[in-house]
């Protein structure tokens, strides 16, 4: 059977694994079909539970994913195997081998981080609010290691992500903002902004990015579909 998820291609030690789920491989019905992993989008709880169970089993995860309650904030949770589930945070860091870090998205940008020695990992939920609040810098600051690699997952691209002055005004510069369809609107490139912020934080190896969730129907997209599910981006130590 082909795996219903993707394996990110980036500079990752053998002792660390990462995957990104797609819409395939689950039991949820329209408009959530099929592998929705989110409990907060009004999908049937039994379907979400079964989807999460399948993910844990088929991906041979060493533990249940540490699901967060993502709130578009900038809190970085320092997690271990005993951390409570569903904590409010938009980034999570661990050194623990039994801790599966997970970010749920449907247009926002998921980012994975890993130290060169594979002993420290993190996952970040970076929508425009997280980026404007420097969540990347806060997550990178948790690392003891100085050599860190990053991977940018699927997110709504500059081809489809139009924002207004309310968003633009929250950023220090117009870097990553292209012209929109009229005055007062811009096309925001989350990937470009994230790459620059990662570089500013000292991360030299940056891969991924450029896969637009709105364009690519393998993924959930809130802007494309409105009521829909969420896919997961996961990283763990083996
Ligand atoms: Zn697009």
Is the pLDDT at 206 greater than 70? The verdict is yes
Average predicted confidence (pLDDT) for the chain: 97
The alpha carbon of 224 and the centre of ligand 1 are apart by a number of angstroms equal to 9
Kindly state the helix (H) or strand (E) to which residue 194 belongs, with its residue range. Answer: helix 190-200
Query: Sheet holding 231-237: strands in order across?
Result: 5-6, 16-21, 231-237, 100-105, 65-66
> Binning pLDDT at 50, 70 and 90, where does residue 2 land?
confident
Domain ranges, ordered by start, for the chain? 5-155+206-237
- How many C-beta atoms surround the C-beta of residue 163 within 10 A? 16
Q: Residues, the chain, total? A: 238
- Give 47-97 pLDDT, tens digit per residue: 999 999 999 999 999 999 999 999 999 999 999 999 999 999 999 999 999
Question: CATH number of the domain at 5-155+206-237, please?
Answer: 3.60.140.10
Judged against a pLDDT cut of 80, whether residue 103 lies above it is answered with: yes
Q: What is the pLDDT of residues 7-34, one digit of tens each?
A: 999 999 999 999 999 999 999 999 999 9
Query: What is the mean pLDDT of the segment spanning 123-150?
Result: 98
**How far, in Å, from the CA of 159 to the mean position of ligand 1?**
4
User: Is a pLDDT exceeding 90 seen at residue 1?
Assistant: no
Cα of 219 vs centre of ligand 1, distance in Å, is: 12
**C-alpha of residue 191 to centroid of ligand 1, in Å:** 12
Backbone phi, then psi, for 91, in 5-degree steps?
-155, 155
- The Å distance, Cα 217 to ligand 1 centre, comes to 10
| Residue ranges in 24-163 assigned as alpha helix (H) | 45-58, 128-132, 135-140
Over range 192-221, report the average pLDDT.
98
What pLDDT is recorded for position 3?
Answer: 86
């Amino acid at each position: 059977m082909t795996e219903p998820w993707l394996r990110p291609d980036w500079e990752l030690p053998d002792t660390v694994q990462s995957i990104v789920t797609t819409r395939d491989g689950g039991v949820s019905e329209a408009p959530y079909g099929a592998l929705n992993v989110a409990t907060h989008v009004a999908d049937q709880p039994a379907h979400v539970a079964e989807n999460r169970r399948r993910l844990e089993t088929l991906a041979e995860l060493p533990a249940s994913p540490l699901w967060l309650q993502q709130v578009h904030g900038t809190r970085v949770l320092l997690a271990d195997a005993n951390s409570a589930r569903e904590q409010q945070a938009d980034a999570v860091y661990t050194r623990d081998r039994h801790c599966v870090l997970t970010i749920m998205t449907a247009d926002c940008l998921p980012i994975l981080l890993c130290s060169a020695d594979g002993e420290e990992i993190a996952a970040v939920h970076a929508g425009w609010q997280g980026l404007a609040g420097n969540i990347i810098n806060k997550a990178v600051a948790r690392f003891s290691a100085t050599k860190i690699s990053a991977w940018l997952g699927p997110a709504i691209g500059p081809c489809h992500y139009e924002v207004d002055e309310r968003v633009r005004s929250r950023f220090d510069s117009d870097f990553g903002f292209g012209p929109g369809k009229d005055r007062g609107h811009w096309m925001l490139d989350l990937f470009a902004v994230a790459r620059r912020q990662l570089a500013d934080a000292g991360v030299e190896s940056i891969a991924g990015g450029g896969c637009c969730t709105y364009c690519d129907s393998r993924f959930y997209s809130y802007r494309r579909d409105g009521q829909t599910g969420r896919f997961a981006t996961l990283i763990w130590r083996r």
